[in-house]
Amino acid sequence: MRALKPAGNQVAQVLFKPTTFIHLNHIIKLLKVSADTNNLILAKILHSLLLVTNQTSTRSNRYPLNSLINVYAKSNQISVAQKVFDRMPERNLVSWCSLMAGYLQTGFSLQVIKLFKDMTLVDSLRPNEYIFAVVFSACSDGGKALEGRQCHGYVVKSGLVFHQYVKNALINMYSKFSDVKEAMRVFSLVPGYDVYSYNLVLNGLVQQGFSNEAIQVLERLMGESVEWDSVTYVTVFGLCACLKDLKLGLQVHCRILTSDVELDVFVNSAIINMYGKCGKVINARKTFDWLQVKNVVVWTGIMAAYFQNGCFEEALNLFSEIKIGDVSPNGFTFAVMLNSTAGLSALRHGNVLYGEIVKSGFKDHVIVGNALINMYAKCGDIEAASKVFLDMMYRDCITWNAMICGYSHHGLGKEAMALFNDLLAAGECPNYVTFVGVLSACSHLGLVKEGLYYLNQFMRQVGVEPGLEHYTCVVGLLSKAGLLDEAEKLLRSIPVELDVIAWRTLLSACHVHRNYGFGRRIAEFVLEMDPNDVGTYTLLSNIYAKAKRWDGVVKIRKLMRERNIKKEPGVSWIEIRNVTHVFVSDDCQHPESTQIYEKVKELLARIKPLGYIPDVTAVLHDVEEEQKEDYLSYHSEKLAIAYGLMHAPLEAPIRVFKNLRMCEDCHSAAKLISKLTNSMIIVRDANRFHSFQNGCCSCADYW
């Protein structure tokens, strides 16, 4: 009795007086109080009283028993509720509805559908609108589309569909089945609209990516006198984020500020997300700073806004602030942090985060595992990414895609294809991203026939429509095989609007295969598409230089000056003992530049007997051969590799990152340096990862 709340204690004292008579209506009212306050002890006392006074065995006592079922169901005592229900001498619709609602609340949606069938068969009761509202929710939660449609037919015939909550339950069910067309049909054809109808249909359209239809519904909502609630605002901010429509987002933000809707944590998170997706991270930060109380959802939202806008360092800096604010990060927070680390290629920082994740108990969360795979793959440690993948207890399609694409990006085509076969064997359905990784792997392995099969047949068999990325991969596949004419025909025939990257892939192949005439024609076509594409000018200039057409090189440089197009300088960086060292070609700014230059000179001298011949054709200047060798010697990646060999721990891989494509001379030198020093050298350039070991590269000399 001491465990009772004060009010419950007083009630118990009255109930246990032997002279006290409690009217049935009072018991029902007390049971309602018990349900509303979640007071299970009081409910059990009242249940005992009903048993003692023999008020559970007659037909007239259905009402207190229905109330008991409701209390037990709301208190997660569904098995007790079921026992009360089973012992009732006679049940009505309220009895069935209370038990069904209890099972629905506790996650047993399939049991609700079974009870619904039993109700019509055993008690021959005709379901009402409340029953159907529960059944539709159970069908949506349990994924029972057939049963849901059958019930839909019944409510249409019986006229129950015109009840607002039945209509709303139907819209919710079809939205969860991703059947937006049917949800819209119910919304449009059945009269009666309230804010819940609009919220459900808007949320369903936004979730399924039907942005244009969502805008139409929003226009209709704004034309009616329906008062928006916080859910409406959260959904509409989500729509603005999907469309990246800053103007609409600002209008909605102004509207909520002039309304009576409370700016709770969910609304503020939606506002921060909207500004982040619309590229206005300053506005997102202002919203964040304005908040007095910040929970983990808001912190994660602002970190995600920084990450989405490429402000990786700012996102990581906030992670230290969240700890000072005494807020514990969750799985989503760690996922954003890991992806920001991947953006900076800061492997050491990623390892520190991994330790935090293990300590915090989020290691087995799928979203965290996926972010770990992505981080390790993008930071150049594909073995660590593979270990995370193998250790994961649960995997989703994103997990498989991250690992397949990681292998492909590292040039490990065989591993990527083997994993793709494992995905199919595991019963997972490949999606758009999966095939980007698969076709990229086919390109690395030169599997022309297989790549064309995946593009033209297998993708359509599994319901994936080929897109720009897939066609670009296949152009790369055909180009690598030397099938330049076929690659051009494919580019000119595909039903997808092409970008410059697809054509530049073909242009790069012309450079590799030394088909300079073909390359010049493609370059001219690309520059017509985008006269400001720096990469095309660079490749065309290289083509002219390889052909020793110095007049062409001069012409391209003049054209770039006239159009005010500047080539980005080559920059490489390497992380040694938590410090990132940045190098530019012919850089003398580093404190150890003298020693680094000496190391480069020593390495180049030692690899010449191994077959190194400076590739002076890569120098875009018409100067003497000796001067060309000097131009080549101190490219940024050579400086970074030399520094890594000077200071990295023994047997540790040298990981270098470069903002541009690695030149052919540096590629040849890196292969021989890896053989000379017995080191693994990993270089990530603008195109891919190059893993140099024992004189070979994972790209098989095609990049």
pLDDT in tens, 671-686: 999 999 999 999 999 8
User: Could you tell me if 513 and 600 lie in one domain?
Assistant: no
Q: State residue 654 phi and psi, 5-degree precision.
A: -90, 115
- Based on the fold, state whether residues 503 and 607 are members of the same structural domain: no
541 and 637, same structural domain? no
What does the pLDDT read at residue 629? 63
What DSSP assignment string belongs to 159-222?
TGGGSHHHHHHHHHHHHHTT-HHHHHHHHHHS----HHHHHHHHHHHHHTT-HHHHHHHHHHHH
Looking at this protein, which amino acid is placed at residue 197? S
Query: Is residue 677 domain-resident?
Result: yes
Q: Are residues 411 and 545 in the same domain?
A: yes
Higher per-residue pLDDT: 232 or 585? 232
Tell whether 559 and 588 lie within a shared domain: no
Q: Specify whether the CB–CB gap between 107 and 77 falls below 8 A.
A: no
666 with 616, same domain: the answer is: yes
pLDDT in tens, 482-502: 899 999 999 999 888 888 888
Judgement on whether residues 420 and 536 belong to the same structural domain of the protein: yes
Domains in the chain, number: 2
User: In which band, very low, low, confident or very high, does the pLDDT at 432 lie, cut at 50, 70 and 90?
Assistant: very high
Q: What is the pLDDT of residue 351?
A: 93
User: Same structural domain for residues 428 and 516?
Assistant: yes
How far CA 34 is from CA of 2, 7, 8, 450, in Å, comes to 17, 11, 9, 67
As a whole-number percent, the residues of the chain with pLDDT over 90 amount to 51
Domain end, chosen from 563, 585, 606, is at: 563
User: What CATH number is associated with residue 474?
Assistant: 1.25.40.10
pLDDT of 538 strictly over 90? no
Which of residues 513 and 288 earns the better pLDDT score? Answer: 288
Domain that holds residue 511: 404-563
Residue range 552-568: average pLDDT?
Answer: 86
Same domain, 549 and 578: no
Q: Which residue has the higher pLDDT, 384 or 158?
A: 384
Domain termination site, one of 529, 563, 597: 563
Same domain, residue pair 410 and 513: yes
Inter-residue long-range contacts of 361-365, CB under 8 Å, 24+ positions, other chains counted:
362/330, 362/331, 362/334, 364/392, 364/393, 364/394, 365/331
Helix axes 516-529, 500-512, angle to 10 degrees: 160
Most confident listed range (4-18, 25-39, 540-554, 602-616): 602-616
The verdict on 555 and 587 lying in the same domain is no
Among 510, 541, 563, the domain boundary falls at: 563
pLDDT of residue 664: 85
- 443 located within any domain: yes
428 and 508 assigned to the same domain: yes
| Assigned domain for 510 exists | yes
Model pLDDT, residue 194? 87
The answer to the question of residue 118 being in a domain is no
Within a 10 A sphere around the Cβ of 699, how many other Cβ atoms?
A: 20
Instruction: Kindly state the tokens that stand for 263.
Output: 């700016």
Does residue 626 carry a pLDDT above 60?
no
What confidence tens digit (pLDDT) does each residue in 12-68 have?
554 545 444 456 677 777 777 776 777 777 777 777 777 766 666 555 567 788 888
pLDDT band at 226, cuts 50/70/90? confident
CA angle 431, 273, 375 (to 5 degrees): 50
Q: Is the dihedral of CA 450, 456, 461, 462 positive or negative?
A: positive
Position 228 in a domain:
no
* In-domain check, residue 461: yes
Q: What is the pLDDT of residue 124?
A: 79
> Is 438:404 a contact under the CB 8 Å cutoff?
yes
Q: Residue 449 falls within a domain, yes or no?
A: yes
Task: Please give the pLDDT value at position 91.
Answer: 86
Q: For residue 188, what pLDDT is reported?
A: 84
Q: Is 476 inside any structural domain?
A: yes
pLDDT confidence of residue 2: 44
